[in-house]
Structure 1
């Protein structure tokens, strides 16, 4: 995960001088861009560091089974949400779907079905900052502040 402290150091003072309405406008554009970037990364099935997700476990079925990509519904706007205000931006999974995302994010144990066996899931980082996201934040800040 990339550290955002250096962005906060150079831009924090400038952002504090903006009016609350301007900060909210900036937060909205950054939240939209970060959500789009995260969605594209999940679609490409990449961790924030650029490595590929761990593959699914093999199934016991014989014959060819065509599978859709992992997290196909999870990356939609219904589940992957961005929240923003004048104080900050957050992109993530909220409410009930957050448990499923947390299990995959940290590689935890969970049940396959309600009364099914517990399984240890592979770690697949759905959320996090890649170097492209940090560049996106830097570019968005510079563009907004120079207007």
Structure 2
């Protein structure tokens, strides 16, 4: 934790030297790159730590050998996975009604299967998060824009 604090202090000092317009431009680029990495993780069906998502449950009524669609195919589109950036921060989040769906799956919460359906506990599938590659991407973006 102490190392992370040192890096944070170092980056804050470097960011203070940039003009607000340059900082917001850099943060916008950073948010877009982070969104791309999150979309790739969702497309590859893996958590930020590299482990794969828990597969869908097999129900008694499901057909054997049926090819299923990928999970979260629409959630990863730019329509729902939005970026926001200011001079001080950059974020990637889900927007609108899909935010509830994403939260239930991300934390493995209990929710209804359909509008009037039964409740079930969903498996924990982390949709957004940092990994080593994301942190390296952030470092590269900072160094590139500060030099």
Q: TM-score, normalised by structure 2?
A: 0.92
CA offset at residue 65 of structure 1?
1.4
* CA–CA distance in structure 1, aligned partners of residues 67 and 14 of structure 2: 51
* CA–CA distance in structure 1, aligned partners of residues 12 and 24 of structure 2: 14
CA offset at residue 61 of structure 1?
2.3
> Cα distance 1:100–1:82, how it changes in 2: closer, same or farther (>3 A)?
same
Q: 1:109 is matched with which residue?
A: 110
> Cα distance 1:6–1:117, how it changes in 2: closer, same or farther (>3 A)?
farther
Cα RMSD for the two superposed structures: 1.5
- Structure 1 residue runs of 5 or longer lacking an equivalent are none
The aligned runs of 1:1-147 (5 Å cut-off) are 5=5, 7-59=7-59, 60-146=61-147
CA contact (8 A) 1:4 1:134 kept: no
1 or 2 for the larger relative contact order (CA 8 Å, sep ≥6)?
A: 1
CA contact (8 A) 1:7 1:138 kept: no
> Cα distance 1:71–1:28, how it changes in 2: closer, same or farther (>3 A)?
same
> Cα distance 1:145–1:47, how it changes in 2: closer, same or farther (>3 A)?
same
* CA–CA distance in structure 2, aligned partners of residues 127 and 90 of structure 1: 11
How many pairs were matched up? 144
> Cα distance 1:112–1:125, how it changes in 2: closer, same or farther (>3 A)?
same
Q: TM-score, normalised by structure 1?
A: 0.92
> Cα distance 1:66–1:47, how it changes in 2: closer, same or farther (>3 A)?
same
